[in-house]
């Protein structure tokens, strides 16, 4: 605290970590409150990407950046970087004709969200669950092993074999995502994929709701889900579907599919994708040093500023009473945006910057990291010129001085840098190496930029209208901005930029489409506790009914020991709806047991 | 943060949709411990992880002015063993002060001269080979339980604050380590197994040395400015005597004594000449790593009273008349507590950040609350 930033100016020698350490700035310099309160005000109506509120919020951020002296990126004349995305899809009139019967959307058929718009005719082949396990898994399961589906319409069951033993289910469910099934069918030359939810599965006989998908185009195959009425027509000349499904449900890989006798199908798929334009707001503070750092002359900081708007898409967790109210997103992610602005403000005032500071506010993050992906897909500057990227997502709800820093596995240099920068800041840091986080840090990891994400974690107001500015802990948010400014300064001063390290994506990372059970637990994502620490339970849900509560640590479920959130996800996949399982958990020092009955998820 | 993702963690929040009508029930009641009306937060606030780099770190000791912390950490590239580092608590700079080669442990800053003492094996010609073997072992994916090998090559060194050169302080065959300075900087109290290497051992003793050399460890004292030849033995009881520190007034030494079996340990104090041995704890567990608060009124130590793998910090009045008071309430390891010289902060080693390996944590220490809790404690249970 003794030295000031001017001390750095005096030091002109080759700057290594030790001199960077002279940077220390009281968090009193950082003022995040105004930014949060403005961004989370009703005026911006929850900042849904593509909405008027998002435009107003973008205008506000651009004005603030301009005030700080930030400039458009080289070669650009504006701080706005617009991109197109699909904000939602609905069926545009799909239709299926089986023999002489015609079925229409939305009653009996719905295009899948990734379907091509087309019309095809072909004979039908039933391919069981339509699952292909890659050979590399040392586990033989190929629904197409004995089938010729070239130019055919492939009919498959949704999900994965219902009665398979837990190990088999665990493997099969990884390859049961509908996109994956469509890919397998397309690779074998099929013209179309029809999905039936079998009579022995949850949601039996129903179509698959069109999920939110931000892709701008289809996936090269006609794909639709149909009801049991359509299935009955398809299986009119075969055994009843229920009996057929039962054979496949054992998981026995030798149960083979078969052509559906005398069934010709004409399928018309039609999806209406609502295209919208979002805007990333990106500028930079140019390096000012007489001899700027040559290697990778950029440091980037970013946060998404969009949120859920009025909560009309599926991401809202608002209770019924609150549905349709603006989701103000004070923590998610006005807090991160405010941190970025405060850091930029501090760096703007600093006389010497040895690297350019790229300052980014992403949009459409809530729709699947769309804005940041658009940025790296057609990058305004080469990504390999960026020494490092720091992301901030939900940093306004500090608890017990704990700050989670994620994606630390992207460079060996992070631990050193964080340790030194945190000595003055004084957070109880939790380091999580995994960069595959549900936020924009993932985007930069994928283009091999050493990255970090800062977060104070999820809470009861997550994705609800109650995530409001009065609940933000501004003092600690200012401290986070201060810590991050310290990290940015060290990055700017380091002549050797951090080396990127690739973190393998955990094989346990499964598609969520496989998960069908609902337990009503809210895990604490920032915890490194051994087991699964609950940051809450959903009112009335199975976990609450089982007597679990916030602060409990689940260490075993259904005989599977749980040491982390991956174990838990994995174990969840093996649960059966309505079948009670034993849960072992720690409450303080007490080891307790209870029975939990998983419910069905929609 | 979106939850539309390719990541399983998103699932659990999404499941909330199934019962959108229900509010999140957040029950903020912390667990209640019948044994004590106090909780961790009564004594420790603003807890934060201090060391981040490296596989593990521990044993942080303060400089007299409280601006620096000397500690051991496994972070030297190519060396899987502890080396000694000094952290500047205002700038965040971290500097290695040991040679970088071999094993080191147990550092301490001379309160008067700023010299740093620590134990090291860097003179051992096998150092590089041992490092490589350990790295190879780890690369093979195997893990061993934490064990300290009481390497007889371990000798005490002092690094001069003025010149940065090292002076070897012990020359006896045997493990010489666990040193600390007196408040006036004139003395070093330390632990040594030299006894076992200085005489002919009986077959039973030889077997003991092979399986657990710490059995022979005793407390010694020597002049800080000498050459170690004046080292004087202070303890004479079988079983591991170790981890000695001076009291704030420099008149007593506090340490831990293991029983012969090496399972139970208790905290003791004695005069500088080894007289007036006084036992402060009696948990019938492993109570060790004691350090006296600068007020001189109480001792903070670690014990696994609550479970073999669960070390927690406790405190006890300086006379050991009362039942110790529990300080920490976290899973895993909490140990090696060292209060700051002004008594307002506590540095200790903890695995609360996850995993088995410890790192150094720092917190504000509530001295008044500690005194209050100690005053309210009942008499020591027999």
Q: What ipTM goes with this model?
A: 0.82
- CB-based contact (8 Å) between A539 and chain B? yes
Instruction: Give the total number of structural domains in chain A.
Output: 3
DSSP-assigned letters across all residues of A112-132: -TT---EEEEEEEEE-TT--B
- Number of helices and strands in chain B (H, E): 6, 25
Residues A578 and A556 in one domain: yes
- CB-based contact (8 Å) between B147 and chain A? no
Residue among B15, B353, B362 minimizing CB distance to A518? B15
- Give the other-Cβ count within 10 Å of A546's Cβ: 21
Residues A56 and A165 in one domain: no
DSSP E strands: which ranges in A486-548?
517-518, 521-523, 532-538
The reply to whether B327 falls in a domain is: yes
* Chain A residue numbers touching B7 (CB-CB < 8 A): 436-438, 509, 512
Closest C-alpha to A9, from A525, A333, A353: A353
What are the backbone dihedrals phi and psi of residue A492, each rounded to the nearest 5 degrees, phi first? -65, -35
Choose from A529, A538, A591 for mutation: most chain B CBs within 10 A: A538
Q: What band does B22 get if pLDDT is binned at 50, 70 and 90?
A: very low
* Axis-axis angle for helices A413-425, A474-493 (nearest 10): 130
- Residue linked to tokens 């990127």: A500
Min Cα distance A111 → chain B (Å) is: 20
Q: What's the Rg (C-alpha) of chain B? A: 22
Determine if the pTM surpasses 0.90: no
More confident residue, B309 or A359: A359
Residue among A368, A415, A551 minimizing CB distance to B2? A368
Q: What band does A134 get if pLDDT is binned at 50, 70 and 90?
A: confident
Which B residues in the span 317-336 are in contact with A, Cβ-Cβ below 8 Å? 329, 331-332
H helices within chain B, ranges in order?
11-14, 40-43, 127-139, 194-198, 203-211, 367-376
For residue A526, whether the previous peptide bond is cis, meaning omega lies within 30 degrees of 0, is no
Which A residues in the span 348-387 are in contact with B, Cβ-Cβ below 8 Å? 365-369
Tell me the pairing of strands A101-104 and A271-285: unpaired
Choose from B6, B10, B15, B96 for mutation: most chain A CBs within 10 A: B15
Residue among A462, A536, A551 minimizing CB distance to B25? A536
Residues A422 and A567 in one domain: no
B245 three-class SS? strand
**Among A269, A297, A323, residue at a domain's last position:** A269
The CATH number of whichever domain residue A265 belongs to comes to 3.50.30.30
Range of the domain at A368: 5-88+275-493
- CB-based contact (8 Å) between B34 and chain A? no
Residue among B18, B27, B361 minimizing CB distance to A599? B18
The reply to whether A195 falls in a domain is: yes
The reply to whether A511 falls in a domain is: no
* Chain B residue numbers touching A549 (CB-CB < 8 A): 25, 27, 29
Does residue A288 carry a pLDDT above 60?
yes
Residue among A21, A437, A460 minimizing CB distance to B26? A460
- CB-based contact (8 Å) between A68 and chain B? no
Angle, vertex CA A351, rays to CA A349 and CA A357, nearest 5: 70
The reply to whether B147 falls in a domain is: yes
Closest C-alpha to A296, from A341, A358, A208: A358
Partners of residue B252 on adjacent β-strands: B271
Range of the domain at B106: 34-376
Whether the Cβ atoms of residue B74 and residue B67 lie closer than 8 Å to each other = no
Residue among A419, A437, A539 minimizing CB distance to B24? A539
Does residue A512 carry a pLDDT above 60?
no
* Interchain CB distance below 8 Å, A24 and B91: yes
Residues A102 and A71 in one domain: no
pLDDT at res. A538 = 75
Residues A240 and A319 in one domain: no
pLDDT at res. A559 = 81
Give the list of residues 6+ apart from residue A104 with CB closer than 8 angstroms, or none. A93, A94, A95
Which A residues in the span 572-591 are in contact with B, Cβ-Cβ below 8 Å? 572, 586-590
What token pair was written down for A220? Answer: 């090269």
Mean pLDDT of all residues belonging to chain A: 87
Residue among B4, B18, B32 minimizing CB distance to A518? B18
* Chain B residue numbers touching A518 (CB-CB < 8 A): 15, 18-19
Give the list of residues 6+ apart from residue B46 with CB closer than 8 angstroms, or none. A401, A426, B363, B364
Whether the Cβ atoms of residue A340 and residue B40 lie closer than 8 Å to each other = no
What's the rounded mean pLDDT across residues B358-369? 96
Residues A287 and A264 in one domain: no
Q: What percent of chain A has pLDDT over 70?
A: 90
* Interchain CB distance below 8 Å, B88 and A428: no
* Interchain CB distance below 8 Å, A401 and B2: no
The DSSP 8-state label assigned to residue A142 in this structure reads B
**Among A478, A493, A508, residue at a domain's last position:** A493
Nearest chain A residue (CA) to B1: A439
- CB-based contact (8 Å) between B161 and chain A? no
The reply to whether B14 falls in a domain is: no
pLDDT at res. A1 = 21
* Chain B residue numbers touching A366 (CB-CB < 8 A): 2, 4
Instruction: Give the total number of structural domains in chain B.
Output: 1
- CB-based contact (8 Å) between B2 and chain A? yes
Residues A177 and A316 in one domain: no
* Interchain CB distance below 8 Å, A427 and B24: no
* Interchain CB distance below 8 Å, B6 and A455: no
Q: Is A499 exposed, middle or buried (0-12, 13-18, 19+ CB in 10 A)?
A: exposed
Give per-residue pLDDT as tens, A412-461: 999 999 999 999 999 999 999 989 888 999 999 999 999 999 999 888 88
Min Cα distance B260 → chain A (Å) is: 31
Q: What band does A73 get if pLDDT is binned at 50, 70 and 90?
A: very high
Nearest chain B residue (CA) to A525: B9
What token pair was written down for B60? Answer: 């942080």
Residues A339 and A383 in one domain: yes
Closest C-alpha to A64, from A277, A331, A338: A338
Residues A583 and A527 in one domain: yes
Q: Is B28 exposed, middle or buried (0-12, 13-18, 19+ CB in 10 A)?
A: exposed
A464 three-class SS? coil
Residues A75 and A220 in one domain: no
* Interchain CB distance below 8 Å, B13 and A317: yes
Residues A62 and A143 in one domain: no
Give per-residue pLDDT as tens, B155-200: 999 999 999 999 999 999 999 999 999 999 999 999 999 999 999 9
Give per-residue pLDDT as tens, A156-193: 999 999 898 877 887 888 788 888 898 889 889 999 99
pLDDT at res. A140 = 84
The CATH number of whichever domain residue B41 belongs to comes to 2.120.10.30
Alpha carbon distance A328, A194 (integer Å): 40
* Interchain CB distance below 8 Å, B17 and A314: yes
Give the list of residues 6+ apart from residue A571 with CB closer than 8 angstroms, or none. A557, A558, A560, A562
Nearest chain B residue (CA) to A364: B2
pLDDT at res. A15 = 32
DSSP-assigned letters across all residues of B61-120: EE-TTSSEEEEEES-STT--S-EEEEEETTT--EEE-S-SSS-EEEEEE-TTT--EEEEE
The reply to whether B91 falls in a domain is: yes
- CB-based contact (8 Å) between B368 and chain A? no
- CB-based contact (8 Å) between B54 and chain A? yes
* Chain A residue numbers touching B2 (CB-CB < 8 A): 315, 365-369, 438-439
Does residue B32 carry a pLDDT above 90?
no
* Chain A residue numbers touching B20 (CB-CB < 8 A): 317-320, 323
pLDDT at res. A527 = 63
The reply to whether A500 falls in a domain is: no
Q: Which of A24-33, A195-204, A261-270 has the lowest mean pLDDT?
A: A24-33
Give per-residue pLDDT as tens, A536-586: 777 778 898 899 988 899 988 888 778 777 677 767 767 777 888 999 999
- Residue linked to tokens 């079925």: A103
Residues A207 and A308 in one domain: no
Min Cα distance A482 → chain B (Å) is: 14
* Interchain CB distance below 8 Å, B12 and A521: yes
The reply to whether A573 falls in a domain is: yes
Q: What band does A229 get if pLDDT is binned at 50, 70 and 90?
A: very high
Alpha carbon distance A522, A550 (integer Å): 8
Q: What band does B75 get if pLDDT is binned at 50, 70 and 90?
A: very high
The reply to whether A473 falls in a domain is: yes
The DSSP 8-state label assigned to residue A496 in this structure reads S
Whether the Cβ atoms of residue B26 and residue A551 lie closer than 8 Å to each other = no
- CB-based contact (8 Å) between A19 and chain B? no
A229 three-class SS? helix
Most confident of A12-26, A110-124, B135-149, B269-283: B269-283
What's the rounded mean pLDDT across residues B93-106? 96
The reply to whether A501 falls in a domain is: no
Closest C-alpha to A81, from A333, A369, A334, A379: A379
Q: What's the Rg (C-alpha) of chain A? A: 26
Alpha carbon distance A114, B36 (integer Å): 60
Residue among B26, B29, B353 minimizing CB distance to A528? B353
Residue among B2, B11, B88 minimizing CB distance to A512? B11
The reply to whether B139 falls in a domain is: yes
* Interchain CB distance below 8 Å, B354 and A428: no
pLDDT at res. A114 = 85
The reply to whether A466 falls in a domain is: yes
Alpha carbon distance A29, A10 (integer Å): 22
Closest C-alpha to A449, from A505, A392, A383, A393: A383
Q: Is A206 exposed, middle or buried (0-12, 13-18, 19+ CB in 10 A)?
A: middle
């Amino acid at each position: 605290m003794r030295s000031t930033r001017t001390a750095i100016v005096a030091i002109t020698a080759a700057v290594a970590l030790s001199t960077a350490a002279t940077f220390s700035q009281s968090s009193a310099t950082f003022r995040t409150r105004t930014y949060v309160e403005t961004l989370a005000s009703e005026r911006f109506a929850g900042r849904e990407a593509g909405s008027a509120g998002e435009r107003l919020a973008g205008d506000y951020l651009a004005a603030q950046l301009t005030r700080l002296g930030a400039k458009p990126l080289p070669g650009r004349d504006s701080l706005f970087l617009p991109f197109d995305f699909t904000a939602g899809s609905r069926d545009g009139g799909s239709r299926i004709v089986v023999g002489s019967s015609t079925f229409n959307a939305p009653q009996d058929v719905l295009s899948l969200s990734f379907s091509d718009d087309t019309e095809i005719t072909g004979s039908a082949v039933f391919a069981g669950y339509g699952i292909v396990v890659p050979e590399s898994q040392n586990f033989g399961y190929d629904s197409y092993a004995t089938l010729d589906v070239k130019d055919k319409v492939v009919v498959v069951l949704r999900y994965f074999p219902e009665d398979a033993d837990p190990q088999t289910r665990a493997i099969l469910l990884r390859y049961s995502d509908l996109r994956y099934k469509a890919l397998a069918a397309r690779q074998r030359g099929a013209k179309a994929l029809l999905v039936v939810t079998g009579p022995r599965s949850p949601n039996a006989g129903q179509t698959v709701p069109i999920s939110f998908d931000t892709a701008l185009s289809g996936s090269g195959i006609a794909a639709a889900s149909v009801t049991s009425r359509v299935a009955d027509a398809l299986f009119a000349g075969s055994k009843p579907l229920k009996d057929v499904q039962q054979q496949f449900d054992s998981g026995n890989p030798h149960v083979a599919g078969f052509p559906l006798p005398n069934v010709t199908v004409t399928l018309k798929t039609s999806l209406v994708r609502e295209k919208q334009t979002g805007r990333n707001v990106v500028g930079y503070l140019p390096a000012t040093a007489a001899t700027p750092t040559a290697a990778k002359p950029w440091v980037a900081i970013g946060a998404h500023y969009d949120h859920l708007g009025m909560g009309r898409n599926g991401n809202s967790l608002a209770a019924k009473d609150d549905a349709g109210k603006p989701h103000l997103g004070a923590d998610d992610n006005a807090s991160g945006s405010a941190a970025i602005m405060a850091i930029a403000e501090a760096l703007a005032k600093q006389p010497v910057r040895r690297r350019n500071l790229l300052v980014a506010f992403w949009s459409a993050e809530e729709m699947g990291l769309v804005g940041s992906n658009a940025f790296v897909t057609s990058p305004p500057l080469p990504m390999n010129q960026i020494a490092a990227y720091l992301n901030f997502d939900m940093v306004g709800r500090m608890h017990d001085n704990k700050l989670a820093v994620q994606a630390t596995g992207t460079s060996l240099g992070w631990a050193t840098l964080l340790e030194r920068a945190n000595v003055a800041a004084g957070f109880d840091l939790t380091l999580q190496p995994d960069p595959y986080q549900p936020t924009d840090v993932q985007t930069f990891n994928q283009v091999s930029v050493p990255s970090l994400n800062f977060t104070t974690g999820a809470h009861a107001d997550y994705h609800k209208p109650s995530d409001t500015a009065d609940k933000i802990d501004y003092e600690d948010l200012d401290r986070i901005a201060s810590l991050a400014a310290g990290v940015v300064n060290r990055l700017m001063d380091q002549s050797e930029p951090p080396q990127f390290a690739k973190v393998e994506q955990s094989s346990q990372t499964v598609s969520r489409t496989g998960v069908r059970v609902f337990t009503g637990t809210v895990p604490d994502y920032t915890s490194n506790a051994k087991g699964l620490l609950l940051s809450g339970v959903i009112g009335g849900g199975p976990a609450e009914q089982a007597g679990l509560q916030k602060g409990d640590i689940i260490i075993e479920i259904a005989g599977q020991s749980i040491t982390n959130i991956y174990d838990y996800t994995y174990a969840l996949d093996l649960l059966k709806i309505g079948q009670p399982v034993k849960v072992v958990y720690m409450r303080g020092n007490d080891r307790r047991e209870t029975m939990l009955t998983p419910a069905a998820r929609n | 943060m979106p939850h539309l993702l390719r990541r399983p963690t998103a699932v659990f929040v999404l499941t909330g949709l199934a019962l959108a009508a229900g509010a999140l029930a957040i029950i903020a009641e912390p667990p209640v411990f019948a044994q004590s009306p106090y909780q961790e937060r009564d004594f420790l606030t603003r807890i934060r992880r201090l060391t981040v780099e490296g596989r593990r770190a521990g044993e942080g000791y303060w400089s007299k002015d409280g601006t620096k912390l000397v500690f051991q950490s496994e972070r030297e590239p190519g060396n899987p063993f502890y080396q000694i580092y000094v952290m500047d608590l205002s700038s965040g700079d971290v500097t290695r002060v040991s040679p970088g080669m071999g094993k080191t442990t147990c550092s301490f800053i001379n309160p008067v001269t700023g010299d740093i003492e620590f134990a090291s094996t860097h003179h051992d010609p096998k150092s590089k080979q041992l490092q490589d073997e350990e790295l190879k072992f780890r690369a093979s994916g195997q893990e061993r339980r934490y064990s300290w090998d009481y390497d007889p090559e371990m000798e005490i060194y002092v690094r001069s604050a003025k010149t940065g050169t090292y002076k070897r302080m012990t020359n006896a065959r045997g493990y010489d380590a666990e040193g600390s300075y007196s408040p006036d900087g004139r003395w070093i109290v330390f632990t040594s197994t030299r006894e076992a290497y200085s005489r002919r051992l009986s077959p039973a003793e030889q077997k003991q040395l092979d399986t657990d050399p710490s059995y022979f460890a005793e407390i010694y004292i020597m002049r800080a400015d000498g050459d170690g030849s004046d080292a004087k033995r202070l303890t004479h009881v079988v079983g591991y005597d170790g981890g000695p520190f001076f009291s704030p007034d420099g008149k007593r030494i506090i340490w831990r004594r293991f029983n012969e079996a090496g399972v139970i340990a208790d905290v003791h104090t004695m005069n500088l000449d080894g007289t007036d041995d006084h036992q402060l704890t009696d948990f019938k567990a492993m109570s060790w790593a004691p350090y006296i608060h600068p007020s001189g009124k109480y001792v903070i130590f670690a014990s696994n009273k609550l479970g073999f793998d669960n070390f927690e910090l406790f405190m006890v009045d300086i006379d050991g008349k009362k039942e110790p008071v529990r300080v920490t309430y976290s899973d895993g390891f909490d140990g090696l507590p060292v209060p700051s010289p002004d008594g307002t902060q506590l540095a200790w080693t903890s695995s609360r950040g996850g995993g088995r390996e410890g790192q150094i944590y720092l917190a504000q220490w509530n001295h008044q609350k500690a005194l209050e809790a100690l005053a309210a404690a009942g008499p020591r249970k027999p």
